[in-house]
Amino acid sequence: MNKRKWLYAASALAVVLIVTVVFNRGALAMLGFDWFLEGHIEKQLEQTYKPIDGREPVPISTIDKKQDPFSVLLLGVDQRGKEIGRSDTMIYTVVRPKDGDLLMVSIPRDTYVEIVGKDKEDKITHAYAFGGAGMAMDTVEKLLDAPIHYYASINFEGFRKVIDTLGGISLPIEEDMVNDDPDHEKFVIKAGQDNYNGQDTLNYVRYREDAGGDMNRTERHQIFLNLLMEKAKQMNQWSKVPELMDIMGDNFSTDMRPQQLVDLAQSMLQAKERNIYSHSLLGNGHRLKSGGAWYYFADEEDLAKVQTMIKSWLNADTPASSLILPDKYTVNKAKEVGTLSSSESVSKQP
């Protein structure tokens, strides 16, 4: 993938769903970069700005358009009608604009945590239902022992509309996915389709009845994001930008000011290289009592590693080469080095 084309401004899911598409180089070139700079997009973004009472967003420092690392809590919200809804997807994301690197930590929705502000322990998905984005942020901050500078959320209606506006997306579904547990929403996704619409794609990321449970679910989130970026890469239909911006205004919320999104977009577009590293919080699931609710319990050792990793990513003085990465990336690198060393040894034999 030519990573130079992409803006990961406020990162992924909520923002990747729309901002990477709206602000890709092809669309900007066809619209005219001057139009972008003159404040038209900034004005359209005004309705997305929804700060949280009692929580002042941390301004992004800008020095020669190179910002310090910052964090965003990305929320995919199951919201119907006037209800607040629950956060079906939670991804703690660290953005390093100077390096062009992104860290995404997926938190399974059933993770058993202390809900900050409710003085009770429950599934982390309920934090949003109890107190909106603010309580969700407070709860994730306590779990990860890390600050959250901003939030960005998109509801399911916006998700469906974005995918349909893009003309659907290709998904790697080899067998029918049937969600029919009595406690879950019922749906079937037929395998082998060339393209999947917004509803099927939403069901794909929400499906939770395979053996891996929440772990497989978060992996599907990451597969989807990569496929979405590939789709955006292929899309040069700039005429869709106004429609996408309307969808964003109706279904997307953030406490990043429009000017911050625009400034960050310009900075990230200039990055020479970009890497996304993802990790799903490890753990296991069981019931606290027979017949009770099912919970996911984070592995304490993995949680401690994640907390240390986040601290290294948020430290502006940490060089890109010294960032702590999720284990799967360090294992792959070790294998590559090992393979290279073996090849060199063979080539040096007389």
What is the model's pLDDT at position 278?
86
What is the model's pLDDT at position 56?
74
In the chain, which residues have pLDDT < 70?
1-41, 57-66, 79-84, 183-184, 209, 211-215, 217-218, 229-230, 232-242, 245, 262-274, 331-350
What is the model's pLDDT at position 21?
42
CA distance linking residue 44 with residue 314, whole number of Å: 30
| Residues paired with 243 in a beta bridge | none
Q: CA 264, 266, 268, 270 torsion: positive or negative?
A: negative
CB burial of 158-186 (b: ≥16 within 10 Å; e: otherwise) equals bbbbbbebbebbebebeeebeeeeeeeee
What is the pTM for the complete model shown? 0.77
What is the model's pLDDT at position 227?
79
Output the domain CATH number for residue 83. 3.40.630.190
CA distance linking residue 162 with residue 248, whole number of Å: 9
Q: Could you report the per-residue pLDDT of 178-209, keeping only the tens digit for each? A: 988 776 678 999 999 999 999 999 889 878 76
Q: Could you report the per-residue pLDDT of 54-105, keeping only the tens digit for each? A: 887 666 554 444 578 999 998 888 766 556 677 778 889 998 887 878 898 9
Domain limits at 181? 3-348
- Give how many domains the chain has, as a whole number: 1
CA dist 341 to 327, 329, 337, Å? Answer: 21, 18, 6
